[in-house]
Amino acid sequence: MCVQEKVIQVLVNILQVSPDKISTKTTSDDIEKWDSLNHINMIQALEQEFGIRYDQEQMVSMLSVEEIIEATKEILGL
Amino acid sequence: MNLSLTEIQEALKQPPNSKLQSYRIVVLRNITVESILPYLQYYAFRSGLEAAVSVGNYDNILQDCHGGLGADNKPIITSDTDSILIFFKLEVFSWPLARDFLSLNPEQRESEFERVLDYVELTLQAIRKQSSAVVLWHGLELPVYKSLGIMEDQLSDSQTSTLKRLEVQMKGILSRHTNVFYVDLSDCITQIGINSFYDNRFWYYSAAPYSLDALNVIAEKDFKYINALNGKNKKCLVLDCDNILWGGIIGEDGIDGIKLSKHGTGGGFYDFQQELVNLHSRGVVLALCSKNNEKDVWEVFDMHPEMLLKREHIAAYEINWEDKAGNIKKISESLGLGLDSVVFIDDSPFETDMVREILPQVEVILVDPKQSFDYRQVIGSTGYFDSLQYSTVDRQRTKMYQAESGRRRLQNNSDCIDEFLTKLGMEVTVKFADEKSIHRIAQLTQRTNQFNLTTKRYSDADIKKFVDNDTCDVLYLSLKDKYGDAGIVGAVILQSSGNTAVIDTFLLSCRVIGRGVENAFLSCAIKAARLRKVEIVQGKYIPTSKNQQVSGFYSRCGFDEELRLNIMDSSVDAPAYFLSVIFD
């Protein structure tokens, strides 16, 4: 499974939205449940899924699917 | 085996085996801890409960206990609340005590110390004004980095020593309230390691100190308490023998070939046996279920010099070549214990799968003999047998169950049930509860599921309140027969007002069910009601998933449709096959 698919799967789970509501263009403003609490859950779920750890700067900037994928790929060296 | 959040959420989507009972949890906190929700739901789900969790307002513990409102504008704590989890982080309540300790002078230290204790006391008092829910107070965490470094270890008035003293005093306050328990977080920290437990990123970002893995182990521990208090803890461990108690196959390797020794490759088995002996001392009933020649197994028990487990630790056994599901069923029947209180451990996936399939109520553990060095940890970490009671009765439990197993064997051969019961020579004694019996009575209310008309769980303090109450009678029943003294195995609580005595609690340990003891007990309870000069005895039956067998108890004894008995013109007699029924 590629990074994008996995990221979307985690978001679907945490934010409880259907997969067709999420694309690379989606941002936190588009989804009601993407609040600060779920942001923490989402980051940790992604970390568990990929076996990585985001730094502080990434953590606060990961407010769109595109940025999440970018940060994740950067750590994974992809 | 820590599940990730995604795995937890997948598990929660599975349909439950049986209908879930709703369970209301309130979380009060001075930190961000909302992420614990899915974990609480997961462990509730595994215990047959559907958790409805409401989280109190941030850093508003005391206000929330005083009728504080939640997001839905309704009080957070209600009379329906089943349990209240309190997360009280010292860093938030007293930064100086937690992080700036060295700048405090002794007076300031003491005053901060007292401020914490006052807060704990006030919180509990406020809770008890509106709810009798179980309270789990999550313990103080000691400093990760000691304020004086290694010098800290040398001093008796260091920050660490001060906080340990604070912890002891907090526990003292908690123990003075009913149904309030201390959850020591240091176990959870040890379990997953301090670096996995805390995640400072979220602490600075949103006052959330604990990682998801930490919240997982905390929720798991909370449910050990909740399960123990709900009588969901397991009571019996059924053991396979080959590759469980020793390494190898006794029928093939012989007594000199099996692996069992304190050191070397048999060490895991030796240590596991020690753990079994410990469980036995805690009151867990041990049984054997092994495909073997019976003689071979007992030869190891009797002759192997390193066997820690002895025949007297084993309450029941099925050593034969029949299927294990059937054998486990026989064991549970012979001991009079429900299948849902049984844990089965085996190294064969075939056996464990078969038991899972045929007896889904039984908790099954599959272990790998190549990793026998982890056996002890496997059984130690489950919490299946955790209980909040420990008494001398626990230590004698196997003897009682052994006697019970003997009784059942006789029963199967007995043609006439009354004749059989007469032969038992049962002597029943019923007394009013006193200081010495309170603990055992409370324990019975917490453990008894089957012969329990109302399934009300009471603590020692609750029972004491009944005993001290002028309008209440607390009776207990003890039973002796030719196999031995079963001790206190029944309890009744009567509440009298006007011309009516209400039976608030009527229970009998499952070890003595099926012998008419209940009728003898009810006859004594009615005598007690007569002493109160009431005319009506009012029974109560609250159905649960386990007490169906007693649904018709009162009507069988002559009570009317509303479970009332007019004791002016009718009575209940003790069966004739008792050697004696004494009430004093």
Is the predicted pLDDT of residue B491 greater than 50, yes or no? yes
Closest-CA residue of A relative to B13 is A13
Among B33-37, B162-166, B356-360, B548-552, whose mean pLDDT is lowest? B548-552
Closest-CA residue of A relative to B36 is A41
**Chain B closest-CA separation from residue A6 CA (Å):** 11
Question: Are the beta carbons of B35 and A60 separated by less than 8 Å?
Answer: no
Say yes or no: B80 and B203 in one domain: yes
Mean pLDDT (chain A) is 92
Residues of A in Cβ contact (< 8 Å) with B32 = 37, 40
In a domain, residue B400? The reply is no
Per-residue pLDDT band at B279 (split at 50, 70, 90): very high
Residues of A in Cβ contact (< 8 Å) with B5 = 13-14, 41, 44-45, 48
Which pLDDT score, from 0 to 100, does residue B411 have? 54
In a domain, residue B460? The reply is yes
Nearest to B206 among A36, A44, A56 (CB): A36
Residue among B320, B299, B284 at smallest CA distance from B245: B299
Instruction: Tell me how many domains chain A contains.
Output: 1
pTM of the model: 0.68
Query: Which pairs from B468-471 meet CB under 8 Å and 24+ separation?
Result: B471/B495, B471/B496, B471/B497
SS3 (DSSP) at B83: strand
> Exposed/middle/buried for B423, CB within 10 Å: 0-12, 13-18, 19+?
middle
Which pLDDT score, from 0 to 100, does residue B511 have? 65
**Chain A closest-CA separation from residue B378 CA (Å):** 24
Nearest to B6 among A40, A45, A59 (CB): A45
Per-residue pLDDT of A27-65, as tens digits, reads 999 998 999 889 999 999 999 999 999 998 999 899 999
Nearest to B202 among A10, A40, A48 (CB): A40
Say yes or no: B102 and B242 in one domain: no
Instruction: Tell me how many domains chain B contains.
Output: 3
Give CA B405 to chain center in angstroms: 23
Rounded CA separation B181/B134 (Å): 8
Hey, which residues does B144 pair with through a beta bridge? none
Is the predicted pLDDT of residue B485 greater than 60, yes or no? yes
Q: Does A61 touch chain B (CB under 8 A)?
A: no
Is the predicted pLDDT of residue B413 greater than 60, yes or no? no
Contacts of B94 (CB under 8 A, 6+ apart): B112, B115, B116
Distances (CA, A) of A50 to A8, A10, A37: 13, 11, 20
Say yes or no: B268 and B215 in one domain: no
Nearest to A41 among B35, B199, B201 (CB): B35
In a domain, residue B210? The reply is yes
Residues of A in Cβ contact (< 8 Å) with B13 = none
In a domain, residue B397? The reply is no
CATH code of the domain containing B117: 3.40.50.1110
**Chain A closest-CA separation from residue B6 CA (Å):** 7
Say yes or no: B222 and B250 in one domain: no
Q: Does A59 touch chain B (CB under 8 A)?
A: yes
Mean pLDDT (chain B) is 90
Picking from B333, B367, B382, the residue at the C-terminal end of a domain is: B382
Question: Are the beta carbons of B206 and A48 separated by less than 8 Å?
Answer: no
Q: Are the beta carbons of B188 and B214 closer than 8 angstroms?
A: yes
Among B159-163, B175-179, B228-232, B371-375, whose mean pLDDT is lowest? B228-232
Give the ipTM of the model, two decimals please. 0.90
Per-residue pLDDT of B523-544, as tens digits, reads 999 999 999 999 999 999 999 8
**Chain B closest-CA separation from residue A9 CA (Å):** 9
Residues of B in Cβ contact (< 8 Å) with A49 = 4, 6
Which pLDDT score, from 0 to 100, does residue B391 have? 57
DSSP string for residues in B217-271: HHHHHHHHHHHHHTT-S--EEEE--BTTTBBS-HHHH-TTTSB--SSGGGHHHHH
Is the predicted pLDDT of residue B136 greater than 90, yes or no? yes
Nearest to B4 among A9, A45, A60 (CB): A45
For residue A28, give its domain range. Answer: 3-76
Closest-CA residue of B relative to A44 is B212
Nearest to A49 among B6, B199, B206 (CB): B6
Question: Are the beta carbons of B5 and A14 separated by less than 8 Å?
Answer: yes
Which of B1, B3, B5, B57 would you mutate first to test chain A, the one with the most A CBs within 10 A? B5
Is the predicted pLDDT of residue A21 greater than 80, yes or no? yes
Say yes or no: B77 and B100 in one domain: yes
Say yes or no: B369 and B427 in one domain: no
Per-residue pLDDT of B81-128, as tens digits, reads 999 999 999 999 999 999 999 999 999 999 999 999 999 999 999 999
Rounded CA separation B424/B515 (Å): 10
Residues of B in Cβ contact (< 8 Å) with A44 = 5, 35, 199, 211-212
In a domain, residue B394? The reply is no
Is the predicted pLDDT of residue B440 greater than 80, yes or no? yes
Which pLDDT score, from 0 to 100, does residue B205 have? 86
Q: Are the beta carbons of B267 and B331 closer than 8 angstroms?
A: no
In a domain, residue B137? The reply is yes
Say yes or no: B207 and B312 in one domain: no
Rounded CA separation B269/B291 (Å): 19
Which pLDDT score, from 0 to 100, does residue B396 have? 65
Q: Are the beta carbons of B29 and B87 closer than 8 angstroms?
A: yes
For residue B574, give its domain range. Answer: 415-583
Say yes or no: B319 and B173 in one domain: no
Mean pLDDT computed over B49-67 = 92
**Chain B closest-CA separation from residue A48 CA (Å):** 6
Rounded CA separation B256/B250 (Å): 9
Nearest to B6 among A37, A40, A48 (CB): A48
Question: Are the beta carbons of A41 and B212 separated by less than 8 Å?
Answer: yes
Per-residue pLDDT of B300-312, as tens digits, reads 999 999 999 999 9
Who wins on pLDDT, B463 or B402?
B463
Residues of A in Cβ contact (< 8 Å) with B212 = 41, 44-45, 48
Say yes or no: B337 and B419 in one domain: no
**Chain A closest-CA separation from residue B399 CA (Å):** 48
Residues of A in Cβ contact (< 8 Å) with B35 = 37, 40-41, 44
Picking from B361, B382, B403, the residue at the C-terminal end of a domain is: B382
Which pLDDT score, from 0 to 100, does residue B133 have? 94
Mean pLDDT computed over B320-335 = 91
**Chain A closest-CA separation from residue B51 CA (Å):** 18
Which pLDDT score, from 0 to 100, does residue A4 have? 93
Among B69-78, B142-151, B174-183, B480-489, whose mean pLDDT is lowest? B480-489
CA distance from start to end of chain B: 55
In a domain, residue B289? The reply is yes
In a domain, residue B100? The reply is yes
Q: Does A52 touch chain B (CB under 8 A)?
A: no
- Look up residue B341 and give its two tokens: 């209180």
Residue among B529, B581, B511, B523 at smallest CA distance from B557: B523
Q: Report phi then psi at B390, rounded to 5.
A: -150, 120
Question: Are the beta carbons of B4 and A56 separated by less than 8 Å?
Answer: no
Picking from B208, B229, B250, the residue at the C-terminal end of a domain is: B229
Residues of A in Cβ contact (< 8 Å) with B58 = none
Is the predicted pLDDT of residue B394 greater than 70, yes or no? no
Say yes or no: B215 and B314 in one domain: no
Say yes or no: B317 and B421 in one domain: no
CATH code of the domain containing B543: 3.40.630.30
CATH code of the domain containing A47: 1.10.1200.10
Say yes or no: B434 and B311 in one domain: no
Is the predicted pLDDT of residue B399 greater than 90, yes or no? no
